[in-house]
C-alpha cells in the first residue's frame, strides 16, 4: 500500500476520496446504532453530508472520458443526490421503516457498487491499495460485495436494535 498516488492527485480527487472514505466509515454507525439515539442522528446527518459532498465533487472529476468530459459513473451523481433527498424526506414524513430500508440500500449501493468501480485497475484507489497486483483490491471488494448482497437477500444482516422490537 502506498499513498503516493493520493498525494500527487489533483485536489478535487483528494477531496472526493476523503469524503467517500469518511462516508464509508461513518455509515455503519448510522445504520447499526440505536434508532432515535443521539449517535444515530449525528452519524446519519454526517453521512448524508459526506455523501452529498462525494457526489458533487464526483461531478468535477473527468479522468475517464466517454461522452465529452463525462463517463458512465457520472450518472451516479444525480442518482445519489436524489437518493439522499428521498431518504431524508422519508424520515421527515415519519416513515421510519421505509427510511431505514432506503438508507441501507443507498449505503450498500453507493459504497458497494460505486466503491467497486473505484477499485478497477488503473484507478487511484487500486493504485493505493494494491499497487503490485492491480486486480487484487477489486477482486476482494467484489467478493465482499457479493457476500453482503447474498446475506442481505437471505435476511441475515443485522438491523438496529430498536428496529427489531417492532417500533
Is the distance from CB of 43 to CB of 166 less than 8 angstroms? no
State residue 120's pLDDT score: 85
| E-only strand ranges, 8-149 | none
Residues with Cβ within 8 Å of residue 97, at least 6 apart in sequence: 163
State residue 158's pLDDT score: 58
* pTM of structure: 0.81
- Domain segments of the chain: what residues? 4-165
State residue 156's pLDDT score: 62
How far is 99 from 121, CA to CA, in rounded Å?
Answer: 35
140: number of Cβ within 10 Å:
13
Mean pLDDT of each 10-residue bin along the chain, 167 residues long: 86 95 93 84 96 95 78 86 96 93 88 84 85 86 82 63 45
How far is 111 from 131, CA to CA, in rounded Å?
Answer: 21
Is the distance from CB of 54 to CB of 13 less than 8 angstroms? no
30: number of Cβ within 10 Å:
23
How far is 45 from 19, CA to CA, in rounded Å?
Answer: 14
Amino acid at each position: 500500500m502506498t499513498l503516493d498516488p493520493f498525494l500527487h492527485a489533483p485536489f478535487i480527487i483528494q477531496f472526493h476520496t476523503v469524503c467517500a472514505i469518511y462516508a464509508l466509515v461513518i455509515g455503519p454507525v448510522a445504520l447499526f446504532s440505536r434508532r432515535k439515539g443521539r449517535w444515530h442522528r449525528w452519524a446519519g446527518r454526517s453521512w448524508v453530508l459526506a455523501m452529498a459532498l462525494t457526489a458533487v465533487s464526483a461531478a468535477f472529476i473527468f479522468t475517464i472520458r466517454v461522452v465529452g468530459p463525462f463517463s458512465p459513473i457520472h450518472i451516479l451523481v444525480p442518482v445519489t443526490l436524489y437518493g439522499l433527498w428521498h431518504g431524508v424526506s422519508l424520515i421527515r414524513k415519519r416513515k421510519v421503516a421505509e427510511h431505514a430500508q432506503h438508507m441501507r440500500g443507498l449505503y450498500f449501493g453507493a459504497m458497494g457498487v460505486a466503491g467497486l468501480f473505484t477499485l478497477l485497475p488503473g484507478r487511484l484507489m487500486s493504485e493505493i491499495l494494491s499497487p503490485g497486483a492491480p486486480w487484487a483490491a477489486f477482486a476482494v471488494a467484489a467478493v465482499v460485495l457479493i457476500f453482503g448482497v447474498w446475506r442481505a437477500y437471505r435476511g441475515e444482516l443485522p438491523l438496529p436494535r430498536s428496529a427489531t422490537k417492532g417500533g
